[in-house]
Chains A and B, each alone.
Chain A
Amino acid sequence: MNTNKNEKFNATTERREGSCTVYLSGELDLSVAPDFRLVMEPLVGDSEIDLVINLKDLKYIDSTGIGILLSILKARHGMDARFVVEEVPSQIQRLFDMTGIAKFFAASRNSQ
């Protein structure tokens, strides 16, 4: 178990035709929230692409991180653009279920 390792947050963007996937790793908390917002800002407003966030290597998220995901969800929903959160680790999925944000992710996956 390597949970006691300091997991530095990182976001890697991969663009493909018609879509953009952002891979998150490490710990997404209050201290790196501005970095994450900065990465996402230019992508969120682009209605031409399918926006995907991949959480496979994300070790930890706090309410700040969940709040940012929620604001992206709202923005994308408002402009009728696709937004998917994929490969959510079980521990993080639990927090999504607990807070109730999970149902919005499910809805954005099913629509369109």
Chain B
Amino acid sequence: MNAEVQKVVITLPANADFVDIVRLNLYGIASKMGFSYEDIEDMKVAVSEACNNSVLYAYGQEGGMVEVTFEIGNDQLSIKVKDDGESFDRMNRTENTVTLHDKDLHDVEIGGLGFYLMEALMDDVMVDNEAGRGTQVVMTKRLMRSEEKV
């Protein structure tokens, strides 16, 4: 049971109406693992942003699917969000993951906050983007064992 990683995989339509289903699954798995309320809220936001990206950018009009894999480790949870859509240029995007902190309201552009939030809220985020083979985002949160058990 030590080094073993157990996987839970769900496949959903790449549609905004199903992102809350990912959040519900995440809540169940993360709370069972013993993550704190705050950590679960952070992961909910990060995972939803990854799913939003698949819903918004990966597919054209016709409905594709998004595959979400929860990798339950001993002391960490990795969540992989994968689509087979036309991957948009996420690598360029990551350079745009600036916050609004040093900006005036006039200069603020709407959008681009999703990736920033993913990186800010998770311990580790990896984006894998092969031309014509979809996009895969893997994000990891480490389980902090606190003194008090919740």
Contact = CB atoms under 8 A, between A and B. Distances in A.
Chain B contact residues, majority secondary structure: helix
B145 interface: no
Contacts of A98: 99, 117, 120-121
A10 to B, nearest CB: 14
Interface in A50-94: 60, 62-64, 66-67, 70-71, 73-74, 77, 91
B105 A73 contact: yes
B52 interface: yes
Interface string A28-63: 011101000000000000000000000000001011
Contacts of A31: 16-17, 19-20
B19 A71 contact: no
B100 A100 contact: yes
Contacts of B101: 100, 103
Contact of A74 (B27, B31, B38, B105): B105
Interface of B: 16-17, 19-20, 23-24, 27-28, 31, 37-38, 40-41, 44-45, 48-49, 52, 55-56, 99-103, 105, 108, 110-111, 113-114, 116-117, 120-121
Nearest to A73: B105
A67 B110 contact: yes
Given A98-B117, A104-B100, A29 B27 contact: no
B110 A62 contact: no
Q: How many interface residues does chain A have, given as a range?
A: 20 to 34
B52 A99 contact: no
Contacts of B40: 3
B28 A62 contact: no
Given A29-B52, A64-B52, A100-B103, 8 more contacts: A29-B20, A30-B56, A60-B45, A62-B114, A63-B114, A70-B110, A99-B116, A107-B105
Chain A contact residues, majority secondary structure: helix
A101 B16 CA distance: 24
16 contacts: A3-B27, A3-B40, A4-B27, A27-B20, A29-B52, A30-B56, A33-B16, A62-B48, A63-B52, A63-B113, A63-B114, A73-B105, A95-B117, A99-B116, A103-B100, A104-B108
A30 B110 contact: no
Contacts of A95: 45, 117
A6 interface: yes
